[in-house]
Amino acid sequence: MPTAYRKSSVVAILLVAFALILADHLGSPTFAFNMGDGNVQTTLMQRDSTACAPCGAPCPSTRD
Amino acid sequence: MTDTLAPALGTRAVGVDRFIVSLALAGLVLLGALIWLETAPFLLALFALGAVLGVALYHGAFGFTAGWRNLIIRKRGAGMRAQLLLFALTSLIMVPLLGSGQEGLIGAVAPVGTSLMVGSFLFGIGMQLGGGCGSGTLFTVGAGNLRMLVTLLFFIVGAVLGSLHLPWWLGLPGFDPVSLIDRLGVVGALAVQVAGLGAIALWVNRIERRAHGSLERGELRIRPGEAGWWRTLLTGRWPFVWAIVVLAVGNALTLVIGGSPWGITFAFNLWGAKALQALGVDMSQFEFWTWDYPAMALADSVLVNITSVMNFGLLLGAMLAAGLANRFNEASRQRPQGRSFLAAVVGGLLLGYGARLAFGCNIGALFSGLASASLHAWVWFGFAFVGSLIGVRLRPWFRLPN
């Protein structure tokens, strides 16, 4: 049975995804920091222990 | 199990798809190397863990959508019981961890209120129309399913829309998170969890017995089929128990390594917001994106966002598994058209919007929430199931088989 996909399409989709990730990373503070720029604020551990939900939402009691 | 995968699992293509396996391995190595070079070892570990979870989801055909639908339509409960077993096992591992008071571990707890109830209800409808939940959508996209790619794209659109509206929803009646661990202690929380899950299991058994006279105990099978242990491990299909153990241990490891349990849908918000930002939209004008965690994630690389990194691993892990099973893109031989396409669009929007309002999907809110003994997860479970009851009745109009 022939494959259900075109090889070139799969490779192209993966390359586009990788390029988008790379473009996002190259413009980020983490990349700037790795390149020796000490004046950027990186967020290697993105935590907010005061948040009320995993998405960072505040507690209802604090919104009144 | 997702809609589009389930029927295909009855047959098995022979051999391994070397092209897809090679491509998935190359992707894992390339992205893994980038994460290793540019971020920190714990993120590489989470990326690898995401890949293992992707393999487990694909080879175990483990999802939530079809399990719920099988109970509603066919009155068969094996899929639902497998989920309950997963929740119970994970609770037994994670509740003591979270109750130990160890610094840096935060459970998946969230407020209970209008936003949660409306969001989980919409998510339940979306599951049945979109053809998968948060994890189901992601692993089937990794396995090359084009219809689920449509669902994922609109999942992202819905999630971003939900993030813009969430502050308004949070202004409606609701109360702060309730952690059963804080209220009842570790033993008390576990007792309530096991009692609650046991009660649901009895209800599921009753439905199945009434309809069929006996139970199909597919969820308890440990031994592989005639293919043997190694071949089944590599090419699937795994017995439910294998997937349950890997998913439970994987979620606990996510908590230990990353500091909080497994989640999926925040990354969809983030990817959508980054896309809008790239188009020139100032996301800081929206309240959601001024909160500390979303603002931090938006300002920095996706490679330092745990949810994104694990999702990348999951996609590639599912692709690898589909290649090993020689079934990559197999579900897409029939292209989505007409009402089926529309169902993917509507379902995706409901999934995304609902997940944002309900503080996560079946993984972040239900699975991780229950494993954290949070009251919001129980509320999520109930309202999403009611939504699914409606969703399965809408499926015939969208030309989707029940």
> What's residue B2's pLDDT?
44
> What's residue B10's pLDDT?
42
Mean pLDDT of A30-56: 84
A43 to B296: CB separation less than 8 angstroms, yes or no: yes
> Which of B31, B305, B329 is opposite residue A46, by nearest beta carbon?
B305
What does the mean pLDDT of chain B come to?
Answer: 93
Residue B103 pLDDT greater than 90, yes or no: no
Asked whether the beta carbons of A51 and B292 are under 8 A apart, the reply is yes
Q: Which of A20-24, B106-110, B227-231 has the lowest mean pLDDT?
A: B227-231
Q: Which amino acid is at B64?
A: F
The predicted-structure confidence for B231-257, as pLDDT tens digits, reads as follows: 999 998 899 999 999 999 999 999 999
A43 to B303: CB separation less than 8 angstroms, yes or no: no
Mean pLDDT of B51-59: 96
Q: What is the Cα–Cα distance from B291 to B294, expressed in whole angstroms?
A: 6
- ∠ at Cα B246 (B11, B49), nearest 5°? 105
Pairing of β B174-175 and β B112-113: antiparallel
> Which of B39, B328, B359 is opposite residue A54, by nearest beta carbon?
B359
> Which of A30, A45, A61 is opposite residue B176, by nearest beta carbon?
A61
pTM over 0.90: yes
Which of the four pLDDT bands, split at 50, 70 and 90, describes residue B169? Answer: very high
Mean pLDDT of B148-154: 95
Q: What is the Cα–Cα distance from B389 to A23, expressed in whole angstroms?
A: 43
Residue B9 pLDDT greater than 50, yes or no: no
User: What are the start-end ranges of the E strands in B314-365?
Assistant: none
Which of the four pLDDT bands, split at 50, 70 and 90, describes residue A8? Answer: very high
Neighbours of B248 (CB within 10 A): 22
> Which of B302, B305, B359 is opposite residue A57, by nearest beta carbon?
B359
Asked whether the beta carbons of B314 and B50 are under 8 A apart, the reply is yes
- A11 CB neighbours in chain B (<8 A) are 23
Interface probe, candidates B293, B314, B327, B366, chain A, greatest A C-beta count within 10 A: B293
- B111 CB neighbours in chain A (<8 A) are 52-53, 57, 59-60
**Roughly what angle, to the nearest 10 degrees, separates helices B146-170 and B114-130?**
170
A57 to B266: CB separation less than 8 angstroms, yes or no: no
Q: Which of B103-107, B266-270, B271-275, B302-306 has the lowest mean pLDDT?
A: B103-107
> Which of A5, A29, A57 is opposite residue B170, by nearest beta carbon?
A57
Pair of tokens at residue B57: 């989801």
A25 to B38: CB separation less than 8 angstroms, yes or no: yes
> What's residue B223's pLDDT?
84
Per DSSP, helices labelled H in chain A are 7-26, 29-34
B303 to A21: CB separation less than 8 angstroms, yes or no: yes
Q: What SS3 state is found at B375?
A: helix
> What's residue A1's pLDDT?
63
Asked whether the beta carbons of B360 and A54 are under 8 A apart, the reply is yes
Per DSSP, helices labelled H in B131-263 are 134-142, 146-170, 180-212, 229-235, 240-258
Which of the four pLDDT bands, split at 50, 70 and 90, describes residue A64? Answer: low
Q: Where are the domains of chain B?
A: 6-398
> What's residue B5's pLDDT?
41
A51 to B291: CB separation less than 8 angstroms, yes or no: yes
Chain A residue with CA closest to B169: the answer is A60
Phi/psi for B112 (5° steps) reads -115, 125
> What's residue B7's pLDDT?
38
Mean pLDDT of B125-145: 94
> What's residue B11's pLDDT?
46
Residue B300 pLDDT greater than 50, yes or no: yes
- A12 CB neighbours in chain B (<8 A) are none
Q: What SS3 state is found at B179?
A: strand
B109 to A56: CB separation less than 8 angstroms, yes or no: no
> What's residue B13's pLDDT?
53
Mean pLDDT of B90-104: 94
B359 or A37: which leads in pLDDT: B359
- B328 CB neighbours in chain A (<8 A) are 3-5, 10
The predicted-structure confidence for B189-233, as pLDDT tens digits, reads as follows: 999 999 999 999 999 999 999 999 999 887 778 888 778 899 999
What are the residues facing B113 on neighbouring strands?
B174
pLDDT above 90 coverage of chain B, percent: 85
